[in-house]
Structure 1
């Protein structure tokens, strides 16, 4: 009568290492999903005035062929199936978060469109910048009315004056550029002020943290690969 098979120490170690490797690799394997669509906004301003025109474009990569696009506005589907969505005259009901994607991609990044009813608006591309980025601010009038004597302000201090409208550009930005911004300008003989916009400049600490995460993930993946290779070699030798 044949006795029960009892695994020796090497076989047991091999099995344990193999299971540990598979468990460690599971999150990495799951993360390799479909490519993510990228949603962009043109003009690039995230805040607009009523009756401005905006175009949202859904970009997909590494997915050749024809695509059926899907769009979400505040989580609800839109009856749009093209790669771009133009709103010729935005209104309050158009404000909120937009996302897009296809049957071959994950949903895109979220773009939040802010809509205001006012005579003057300080437009921004985003509210947070990293040190070293370029920041562009634009003093914008309702229906593009002729704007004169434009002044930009940072924390209530006047920055620059233009007799006509020009963008205010800061490059590169640093932590001293964080704070509240607004602009002032004349439409006809009337002077208007925009609502303030708070800009945050994230410094080198945040950059370092991001790179540390990338490095840690890379080291972890390499370590898992080494364990997997060692396990396979041990099992093969056995």
Structure 2
């Protein structure tokens, strides 16, 4: 290797290490629910490792820059236009992954920390009322009439979820003289030992399909070549036989 190439390679290695060490910022919700009702207060915090406290923060809402540069972005979700994806970039860290916030103009909302749980994880559900109005007879439903949980408070939890806990969840409660029902939330419980998404299932299907096609093509080529070789051998034997049987000239 020529010595003039070494500085260039060293620069590439250092640049790769710097890019690898550049961690992403993280958006955290307080309270931690991504589904809220109108007039709910929400704090979005931008965090990152090894970033000074006085670092400026870039905020994005649906890919549009928000004119604030503080770490904690506080909102009162008094309009559904606050719905959408939020991202941040703090200091020299990379842009965060998007966090989706949904604002509903309803009386009740069923809140959960996430929509996809792994088998064995704890799950917490919360039935939340508009402007925290007093609720009574709080009831949690799974798959409509499939399962029903009557609670004294607004929270319901499962210590370790399994496959039977997948389904459509909702909650109902009495607010004053009104009986209200939340929207349905679909929650999925995945088994880590199985493919976790349709894309992975299609990956395996395509893999075995391609392997089957290659095997069929290879087999076809093998028998075609073998047939041609056998045909060539027969032609050679035929010519040799005729050559031996031809009479000699006088």
TM-score scaled by structure 1? 0.72
Unaligned runs of 5+ in 1: 1-10, 12-17, 210-238
Q: Distance in 1 between matches of 2:98 and 2:53?
A: 24
Distance 1:206 1:28, change over 3 A: farther
Aligned to 2:126: 138
TM-score scaled by structure 2? 0.68
Equivalent of 2:87, from 94, 99, 115?
A: 99
Aligned to 1:230: none
Superposition pairs of residues 68-147 of structure 1, within 5 angstroms: 68-147=56-135
Q: Distance in 1 between matches of 2:57 and 2:184?
A: 36
Secondary structure of the equivalent of 1:32? helix
Secondary structure of the equivalent of 2:164? helix
Equivalent of 1:159, from 141, 148, 162?
A: 148
By how many angstroms is 1:193 displaced? 0.9
How many aligned positions are there?
189
Equivalent of 1:58, from 46, 49, 60?
A: 46
Distance 1:172 1:31, change over 3 A: farther
Structure 1 or 2, whichever has the larger Rg, is 2
Aligned to 1:4: none
CA contact (8 A) 1:52 1:89 kept: yes
**Cα distance per residue 1:150-208 (max 9 Å; x no partner):** 1101112343212x433011111111111100011101122111110000111122599
By how many angstroms is 1:103 displaced? 3.5
Q: Distance in 2 between matches of 1:196 and 1:115?
A: 15
Q: Distance in 2 between matches of 1:199 and 1:90?
A: 27
Aligned to 1:193: 181
Q: CA RMSD in A?
A: 2.7
